[in-house]
Structure 1
C-alpha cells in the first residue's frame, strides 16, 4: 500500500504549530463531563438541542468520548453497537447498505432505505456513505421513518454524523495508531479563535491506512480488503452578534480502497427445468478459512474515490423564534477495477471448438473496469422555529435538493490471448462440414483484445430535482402530557438519459409523510411515548441495453407505516438507565430486483414486488454498578417477513415456480437477533493517570442472502478488548478487535461468472453452464490489534 510521506509531514507540522499556539482545551475534562449514562447525551435529532432521555424517539447516540472509547471508525462499527441497525458492504465501498429495523435494501443501487446525513446535509451518493470518519462530535442513529422531519428517503430511519465545531479557546489533539498488517493512522486537529469572540476556526487532517486481513496469493497482486484515506475537514464559525451563529465547513478526502475480500460460491440447488443448471446456493455459506486462498490480479486495484463537500449553516435567534438556513454542495467521483474471478483464482476456464471441430478448454483471466462515476449534489433548507419555552411550539420550512449522476464508461477485458486453434465459443453447434456456429461468441469474443469491451465514453445521466414543504407542532396538554404532529409534502422529478443511444425518460413522484405522537413524563422523570409515522421513498427507473435492445423498468414509490411504543427511564437510584421500544412496520410496494437472463450477461431490473410486515423489540441499558465498574448493552429482536410478494427472478426456481411467490419468507439481510454487551472497569493509578480495561461482545444472528431464504449467513459473535492508561493530557491504549478471529461471511449477492463452464466440460449446444450462477460472498476483517497514543493540548 502506498504511503503518503508528504501528508504525514504536513500533519506533524500542523500539530506542532497548534502546540505553540496555546494550551487551553482539555479533552479529558470533556470526557469526564460526558457521564456514562446514555440519557445525559445531548442530541439534535429533532433539529433542537435536547437530552437523549427527553426525546420521544428511539435513538442510539455516541458522543465524542463514546466514539473514542469504542474505537468507532465506520458504519459497520456504529451498527455493531446499535440495536436495530445492521450494515452490509456488499461490494467494497460501491454499495454500502445500512438497514434499520428490518426494512432492508432489496434493490441494491437505488437510494438506501436509511438516509445518511452529515451535520444535517443529506448524502445521496451511495459511494460516499461510508465516509472517512474524522473529528466527529457525535453520531446519532434515529430509528423509524423520519421522512417528515429529515426528508429525502429517511424511509426507515436516519443516521446523522455531527462534526466538532470551532471553539473560541485554543485546543489541539494528536492521535497516532499502529497495528498489525500495516494498520496505521495519524490524525491531528486544532481549534481556536481567529477574531476574539467573533470568528473561530477548526481544522483536522488524517492519514488512515491498512493492508487488509487477507494475503493475495497472486504473484505481484496488491492488497485485499485494505484502504488508504487522506482526509481534511475544516470549519469556520462566525458569531458577529449574540443573535447570529454561522458555520462554514469543507471536507475533502482522497481514498484508495483495495478490492474487497470476496469469494464466488457456485450455485448448487434449484436446477432449471430439472436439468444441470443450478440457479441458487442452498445452505450456510462457508467461512473464510473454508474457501481457501484469495487471489486477485495485479491490475485489479479496487476503488479510487475523491470526495468534496462544503456547506454553510446559519441560525438567527430572537425572542419571537429562530430562523435557520442550510446550503450544501458535494461531489463524489468513484472508479473501480475488479478481478472478474472474484478472488476464486487468477484464471477460470472457457470452452470452445477448435479448428478441427473438437471441444477444448483454456484458462483466462478477466478484468472488469468501471471508469469514474460522478455524483454532484446541491441542497438548501430554510426553517422557522418558534420559541421552545412556550406551551405551543412548532416549526415550518422548505427544502430543495438537486443531484446529477453521471455513469462513466467501462467494460471487461480478458488479459489472456485466444488459443491458436480457436474457432468458436461454446455453446456452439456444427452447421455444416467445417463450419461451426458459436452462440457464445457474441457474449465473450469482444472481451478479448487490447481494449476488450471497454468504452471510455460516459454511459448515462440521471438527474433528480426535489422540493418539499414541511411543518411540525407540539402542545403541552399538561405539564406531563405532550402531543405532536409533523407533516411533509415532497415532489421528486427524476429524469434519465442514455448518453450513447439518446434514449431518455422521466417522471414526477409525489409523497406525503407524517408523524403523530404522544409522550407522558412520570413523576420519577421516566418518559413514555407512542407514535405513528408514515415513511415514503421516491419511485424511479432502471434501464438496461444489449445488442441494440433498450429496456426501461419503472417502479412506484415505496411506503410504510410504523407504529411504536417506547419507554426511557432512570429507574434505580439514578444509576441504571434503560430504553425500550416495541414497533410494527407495514411496508408496501417493496422494490425488488428481477433477473432477466435474456440479456448477456444477465441484468437485474428493479420493480415493485410486494409487501412485508416487521415486528420488533429493542432495548438498551447502562448500569454504573460501582464507581469503577460500568456495564452497558443492547438487544434487538426483529421479525421481518414478506406477506404478499412475488419476485419474477425466482419464477424459474422449481421451489418457487411458476410465479416466484416468496410470501411467508423472511426479508433478506436482516438477522432476527442482534446484541452488544460492554463491560468497563476504571481505576485510579496515580494522581495523573487512570487505568482501564474494556471488553465488547458483539452478536449478529443468522440472516438470509435473498428472499428465497436458501442462502444462509451463519450467526457470528466477535469480541473486542481494550486496555490502557488515560490522563488529562496523554493516553496510551492497547487494543484488539475480533480477537477470536471470526471469519464468517458478512454479506452476499447473486452473481454470475463471465464464462461458459463451471468444470471445463459442456456439450456443444448446451446453455446449462452459460454464465454460471454464483453467490459472491464478502468476508470480514480478521483479528486486528495495535497501540494508540493520544495527546491533548
Structure 2
C-alpha cells in the first residue's frame, strides 16, 4: 500500500478524511495534520471481494469514509446521495429508493425487487428499509456504479452499495457525538472498543439515536408529520484463534419509527381542482401516517490465511425485517380511505470464497453463494366511517385485502481473476453462474367489498419464475505511467423476475402477474490518475448501459375494448454518461474536490408506455437528471502551539431537472436543486474533542423530491427539507 498522510478524506474516488482500511481497527482519533504538503493517502477497497487499491480497480467506484461521513453530518445512508457522483436516493410513495446512473425503482411490493444491491460486511441486505440504517461506526461506504452481476449477483443491475463497518481492535478506545439543532433535531452516538485478551479477543459496541420534529403539520390536530425517530445498535466480537485464523461474530439492530408521508396533496380528491391547503408543509389528514421498521440480523465470518498467502473466507448470515405502514389515502379531513401495510422478510445467506494473496502474475477470487429469502405481505385498504359519501357503493368498516408470500432461492458460483500480460498491462476476467427460483407460495386478493372498483378476488394463486444464467466481466487495464491507469470494461448483470403482488383488477390478474428477469450490458472506459507527486487525484469514467426486458408498468390492450396497466417486461433502456471525481491539496491544510456526473437515461423502446397507442420512445427515465454535481472544500488551521485547530467544510451540490414519471409530463416535473451545507468548528489537541456549528440547505432552496398521482387521482408531492441549523460536539478517548 502506498504511503501518505492519513487525515485527508475521500469521496467518490478521491478521499476526504481518514484512510479507508478493511478488516482492521481504525484509531478513534486521526493523527494531526503534517506541517507540509505530502501525497494523498491510498484508498483500499473490497469492491472485488479482496483488498486492493481503489486506483487499481478497473471500475467506477465512489468511496465515502467515516471522516467524510462525519464531516458532512451524515447520520444515515439515505443522507449521503448529495455528495456522491451518480447516486440518488429518492422518496417514492414514502419509500427511499436507490438510483445509480439514473436507474432505480422496485420495492413497492414483495414480488418486485430493487435494482441496486446493498451489502454490509459482505452480507446482502437488499430490502428497501436498509437504506435508512445508521452510519454509526461505519468505516466506509463504497458505491459501485453499473451492473455488478459477476461478484455481487442478482438485483445489482444499477450498481451496489458496499458498507464496511469498523472492526474490533486491541486498543482501548471510545468516542461519542452529540448534536442539537432547530426543528427539535437531537442525535447521539457512541462507540467503545474493548480488548479482552491481548491480541486474541476484542469486542466493539456502538449505538445511535436520532430524533427530529417533522417539517409538515397536520392542521386538524397540530401534529407534526415526516419526523425522524431512529435507534440502532451494533456489536462485533473478534477472536484471533490462531495466527492464521480469525472468527468474527456480529449483530446489529435498526429501528425506524415515524409519521412518514406518502406526500402532500396538490389537488382535491379527484385531481380536478386545487387542494384546500395549497401551502408548503401543511396537510389535513384524518389518519395519522405510521412508519415502523425493525431491521436486524447476525452474522459469523471465518477467515483462514493459507500458507501460500491466500485467504479462505466463510460468511453465514441471518437477516430480518418487520415493516408496518399506515397512510391516509384520500388526503382530506374526511374519514374515507386509509392503508394498512405489514411486510415481513426472513433471509439466510451463506458465502464461501478463496482470495489470492501476494503480488504474483495472477490474483483471483472464487466462491460459492446461497440465498434463501422468504417474504410475507398483509395489506389492506380500509373504508372509513364516511366512505358512503363517495359514489361507489362502499360500506364503512369493510376493506380490500392482499395476503401473499414469496420465497426466493438462489445459488451461485463465481470467479474473478487479474492476469498480468505484460509490464503495466493486466487482463481481468470474471464469470458468475446463477440458478434462481422465485416462487409465489400464495396470493390471496379479496376485492369483494368494492365491486364498483373492479378489484379482483383471487384465492390461493401460486406460480414460479426460474432463471439460470451466466454473467461475465472482461476488463483490460494499462498503466501508462506509475500513477496513471487506463481501463476498458464490459460487464453484465440481471434483476430477478417476479410477480406483481398488488391491488389488481380482474383483467390484470387474467393477463398474468408474472414477469421475467431483466438484463443489463455495460460498456465502460476510464482513467484513474494521481498527479503532482500524488497531491491530486482525478478519476474519469465514460459508459454506455443497455437494458433489455426492463420491468415497468405498461398499458396493455386485452381486446374487446379492455385496457389495463400491467407490470411487465415492457421496455428497452439506453443509458450513456460520464463521471468525474477529483481531489487536491494545493496547500497544507486545504482540500478541494468535485464529484460530477452526466447521465442521459432514456427509453429506447417503450410501446404503449403513455397509454394505448402512445409510445414513450426517447422519454427520460424517472428520477434521472442529466447533471448532478458536488463541489466541496475543507481546511484546518492551527491556532496555537497547544494543537488547537480551526476547521471548516463547505459543500455545494446541484441536481438538474428531472421527472417523477416515465411520461415526462409537466405535473411530474421535479425542481432543480441547489443545496449549500456549511460547517465551522474548533478541534482540540490530538482530536480528543471538537465542537462545530453547521447549517444545511443554507440557501433555503425550495425543491420537490417526488410528485405522483394516487388512487382516485389526487396529485401529491414531497418537499425537500428546509434550512436547518445546529451544533455538534465530538469526544474521543
Normalising by structure 2, we get a TM-score of 0.87
Partner Cα separation in structure 2 for residue 544 and residue 140 of structure 1: 34
Give 1:36 shift.
Answer: 10
Partner Cα separation in structure 2 for residue 197 and residue 677 of structure 1: 42
Contact 1:83 1:636 in 2 (8 A): yes
Map of 2:522 onto structure 1: 562
Map of 2:416 onto structure 1: 472
Superimposed CA distance per residue, residues 733-776 of structure 1 (whole angstroms, 9 cap, x where no aligned partner): 10111112222111233323xxxxxxxxxxxxxxxxxx3x2433
Q: Indicate the SS of the match to 1:128.
A: helix
Give 1:415 shift.
Answer: 4.6
Give 1:502 shift.
Answer: 1.4
1:47 pairs, out of 39, 46, 49, with 49
Structure-to-structure mapping, 1:548-697, within 5 angstroms: 550-551=509-510, 552-594=512-554, 605-648=566-609, 650-651=610-611, 658-686=612-640, 687-697=642-652
Structure 1 unmatched runs, 5+: 1-23, 269-276, 348-363, 420-424, 427-439, 652-657, 753-770
Superimposed CA distance per residue, residues 138-177 of structure 1 (whole angstroms, 9 cap, x where no aligned partner): 1110111111011132112110111111111110011111
Give 1:555 shift.
Answer: 1.3
Superimposed CA distance per residue, residues 43-81 of structure 1 (whole angstroms, 9 cap, x where no aligned partner): 111111222222221111011111111212233432111
Map of 1:504 onto structure 2: 462
> Residues 215 and 715 of structure 1: is their aligned pair in 2 closer, same or farther, counting only changes over 3 Å?
same
Partner Cα separation in structure 1 for residue 230 and residue 598 of structure 2: 35
Partner Cα separation in structure 2 for residue 45 and residue 719 of structure 1: 30
Superimposed CA distance per residue, residues 206-259 of structure 1 (whole angstroms, 9 cap, x where no aligned partner): 11111122333222x532121111211111011111111211110112221222
Q: Indicate the SS of the match to 1:492.
A: strand
Map of 2:399 onto structure 1: 453
Give 1:483 shift.
Answer: 0.4
Contact 1:174 1:790 in 2 (8 A): yes
Map of 1:742 onto structure 2: 701
1:532 pairs, out of 490, 514, 522, with 490
Give 1:37 shift.
Answer: 7.3
Normalising by structure 1, we get a TM-score of 0.81
Give 1:183 shift.
Answer: 0.4
Map of 2:245 onto structure 1: 244
Map of 2:101 onto structure 1: 101
Partner Cα separation in structure 2 for residue 292 and residue 392 of structure 1: 59
Partner Cα separation in structure 2 for residue 596 and residue 405 of structure 1: 28
Q: Indicate the SS of the match to 1:129.
A: helix
1:128 pairs, out of 130, 135, 160, with 130
Partner Cα separation in structure 1 for residue 731 and residue 621 of structure 2: 46
Q: Find out whether 1:782 has 2:722 as its counterpart.
A: yes
Give 1:370 shift.
Answer: 2.0
Map of 1:294 onto structure 2: 282
Superimposed CA distance per residue, residues 15-38 of structure 1 (whole angstroms, 9 cap, x where no aligned partner): xxxxxxxxx9853335859x9977
> Residues 106 and 38 of structure 1: is their aligned pair in 2 closer, same or farther, counting only changes over 3 Å?
farther
**Which of structures 1 and 2 has the bigger CA Rg?**
1
> Residues 371 and 668 of structure 1: is their aligned pair in 2 closer, same or farther, counting only changes over 3 Å?
closer
> Residues 382 and 694 of structure 1: is their aligned pair in 2 closer, same or farther, counting only changes over 3 Å?
same
Structure-to-structure mapping, 1:375-414, within 5 angstroms: 375-414=345-384
> Residues 547 and 614 of structure 1: is their aligned pair in 2 closer, same or farther, counting only changes over 3 Å?
closer
Superimposed CA distance per residue, residues 4-23 of structure 1 (whole angstroms, 9 cap, x where no aligned partner): xxxxxxxxxxxxxxxxxxxx
Map of 1:484 onto structure 2: 428
> Residues 38 and 261 of structure 1: is their aligned pair in 2 closer, same or farther, counting only changes over 3 Å?
farther
Q: Indicate the SS of the match to 2:81.
A: helix
Structure-to-structure mapping, 1:7-18, within 5 angstroms: none
Structure-to-structure mapping, 1:150-549, within 5 angstroms: 150-219=152-221, 221-260=222-261, 262-266=263-267, 291-297=279-285, 299-320=287-308, 321-342=310-331, 346-347=332-333, 364-416=334-386, 425-426=390-391, 440-441=392-393, 445-446=394-395, 448-449=396-397, 452-453=398-399, 459-496=403-440, 497-499=442-444, 501-544=459-502
> Residues 595 and 645 of structure 1: is their aligned pair in 2 closer, same or farther, counting only changes over 3 Å?
closer
Structure 2 unmatched runs, 5+: 1-24, 446-458
Partner Cα separation in structure 2 for residue 316 and residue 417 of structure 1: 64
Partner Cα separation in structure 2 for residue 645 and residue 236 of structure 1: 51
Aligned length: 679
CA RMSD of aligned residues (A): 2.8
Contact 2:261 2:327 in 1 (8 A): no
Q: Find out whether 1:751 has 2:710 as its counterpart.
A: yes
Which range moved further: 668-677 or 505-514? 505-514
> Residues 646 and 38 of structure 1: is their aligned pair in 2 closer, same or farther, counting only changes over 3 Å?
farther
Partner Cα separation in structure 2 for residue 36 and residue 403 of structure 1: 49
Partner Cα separation in structure 1 for residue 339 and residue 106 of structure 2: 25
